[in-house]
Amino acid sequence: MFHVVLITGISGSGKSVAIRQLEDQNYLCCDNLPVKFLHDFIANAQAESLEKVAVAIDVRSPGDLAKLPEVIASLRAHGIPLQVIFLEASDHTLIQRYSESRRRHPLAYRLKLKNDLAPSLEECIAHERELLAALRDHEHVIDTSDLTPMQLRAWIKDLVIPDNNNVLLTFESFAFKKGVPSDADLVFDVRCLPNPHYEKDLRPLTGCDEPVATWLSRYDSVSEIINDITAYIQKWLPHYMQDTRSYFTVAIGCTGGQHRSVYVAEELAKRFSSHRPIRVRHRSQVPTNST
């Protein structure tokens, strides 16, 4: 089955990590392909009977980047199974990554020529967000702000589903102290629940561990909030699915993203286990499962 993955997004958000992961999954990968060559590249791949192709396109492609949403729509209209993954991160995270890598932003030289003045990194990032805004608003977004490269590789591997014809439902736990993930469609706050963090024996564990699950399940408030969230999603998920989307992410947050949010996300995934495909993932480094 022919399948095309397009990796795009903000510079410094992990596109190179994503492309390397796809290479490991036996995708023919092309990084920094100009938009005007995308049609021909895919046509040649089909002519050579290749099954899996991945392309990275971003602001390094000068001039015709604004045409990318139109090209994507055209390819899909012609029946090309094109999956677009948009990577982004917070400004603070991007600035930190550029400081560590000591690399120059790809727009720095272009903006200097345009304005006859060397731009700051913050100005480059802001301009890049403007250039990519239209694309971000219509594609699947992964916020990599608090993800390790290993986590991002795992998420990309999990996300690329060539035979996926249904909405991919994701339950994602996160830590409010690290910020709300921007890739969430719905966000629920479970910080009001009893906190296993204050139990000495439970503190080093996660919501995936049986002792924590048993402890939380004893509280009526925990089951009640899970029931309420379940009822809300059951009522409104069909309406979201009518919106011709391919992905739907429900984010569950607690203070540290280790106990309560993890447990609730896992329990919700069990409640919706009849939905296919479904996935549960955690921004803290705890086990992640998908179906």
Closest CA to 248 of 228, 221, 267, 268: 268
Environment class of residue 176 by beta-carbon count within 10 Å: exposed (0-12), middle (13-18) or buried (19+)?
middle
Q: What DSSP assignment string belongs to 142-158?
A: EE-TT--HHHHHHHHHH
pLDDT greater than 70 at residue 291: no
For position 288, what pLDDT does the model report? 54
Name the pLDDT band for 64 (thresholds 50, 70, 90): confident
Q: Residue 22 corresponds to which tokens in the numbers above?
A: 């796809």
Name the pLDDT band for 61 (thresholds 50, 70, 90): confident
Looking at domain 3-159, its CATH class is alpha beta
Contact at 8 Å (CB) between 285 and 151? yes
pLDDT greater than 60 at residue 154: yes
For position 87, what pLDDT does the model report? 96
Closest CA to 57 of 125, 2, 118, 4: 4
For position 8, what pLDDT does the model report? 95
Query: What residue spans define the domains of the chain?
Result: 3-159, 168-290
> What is the chain's length?
291
Name the pLDDT band for 158 (thresholds 50, 70, 90): confident
Tens digit of each residue's pLDDT (9 = 90 or more) over 179-236: 899 889 999 999 999 999 999 999 999 999 999 999 999 999 999 999 999 999 999 8
For position 182, what pLDDT does the model report? 86
Name the pLDDT band for 243 (thresholds 50, 70, 90): low
Contact at 8 Å (CB) between 187 and 179? no
Rounded CA gap, 271 and 277, in Å? 14
* Average pLDDT in the chain: 90
> Among 67-81, 127-141, 202-216, 277-291, where is mean pLDDT lowest?
277-291
For position 40, what pLDDT does the model report? 93
> Which of the pair, 285 or 176, is modelled with greater confidence?
176
Q: What angle, 0 to 180 degrees and rounded to 10, lies between the N-to-C axes of helices 38-47 and 68-77?
A: 30
Contact at 8 Å (CB) between 261 and 195? no
pLDDT greater than 60 at residue 289: no
Q: How far is CA 185 from CA 2, 19, 50, 95, 245, in A?
A: 29, 25, 34, 26, 11
For position 1, what pLDDT does the model report? 80
Query: With the C-alpha atoms ordered 287, 275, 156, 12, is the resulting torsion angle positive or negative?
Result: negative
